[in-house]
Amino acid sequence: MKRLTIALALLGLFALSPLAHAVQPDEVMSDPAKEARARALSRELRCMVCQNQSIDDSDAPLARDLRILVRERIAAGDGDQQVLNFLVSRYGEFVLLKPRVEGQTLLLWLLPPGVLVFGALGLWLHNRRRMQASHDALMKLSPDEEARLERLIASQPPDRTV
């Protein structure tokens, strides 16, 4: 019981603690507004070494170089979109963690919702066919049941409520 309590407490601490960022103190810009822009841009850029981490979270040397490059571009007066365009022209669309919606990335954006829609449609059709087959099986009478039904119909007096 004591171990479980300790484990839950540690898990809670890890869940509530903020994520550690790899930005080094010598990289931080003196202007807080520019530093906030640089951090926001760093969270949008993929580390080319780690690939599933942003450069803001990565300790890789290339990520550090990219963070410094972002800060240099911001210090030079580039806007956020200009910085992103520069990095995309230099490293390709892969440098963005969230690719832009363009002709070459359209399949990337449309494939997941398309798979969900076609999957849901397939499940609906499968369920509908199963229900119809189940209904047909229940409605089909065995030869004994058909004979009994015929006897019951024949034994009923005619309806005289005209």
> What does the domain layout of the chain look like in residue ranges?
18-100, 105-154
How far is it, in rounded angstroms, from Cα 104 to Cα 113?
17
User: What is the pLDDT of the chain when averaged over all its residues?
Assistant: 82
Q: Residues near 24 by Cβ (< 8 Å), separated by ≥ 6?
A: 64
pLDDT of residue 15: 57
Asked if 61 contacts 18 with a C-beta cutoff of 8 angstroms, the reply is no
Q: Residues near 100 by Cβ (< 8 Å), separated by ≥ 6?
A: 93
Q: Which residue has the higher pLDDT, 162 or 20?
A: 162
Predicted confidence (pLDDT) at residue 17 exceeds the cutoff of 50: no
Q: Residues near 93 by Cβ (< 8 Å), separated by ≥ 6?
A: 99, 100, 104, 105
pLDDT mean over 10-20: 55
Helix extents (H) in 76-105: 80-91
Residue 129, SS3?
helix
Does this model's pTM top 0.85? My answer is no
pLDDT in tens, 73-111: 999 988 889 999 999 899 888 888 887 777 777 787 888
CATH 1.10.8.640 describes domain 18-100:
yes
Q: Which residue has the higher pLDDT, 41 or 23?
A: 41
Residue whose tokens read 């004979």: 147
pLDDT of residue 92: 84
The rounded percent of the chain whose pLDDT value lies above 70 is 86
pLDDT of residue 114: 92
pLDDT in tens, 111-125: 899 999 999 999 999
* Position 21 confidence tier, pLDDT thresholds 50, 70, 90: low
Residue 141, SS3?
coil
pLDDT mean over 28-38: 83
pLDDT of residue 20: 47
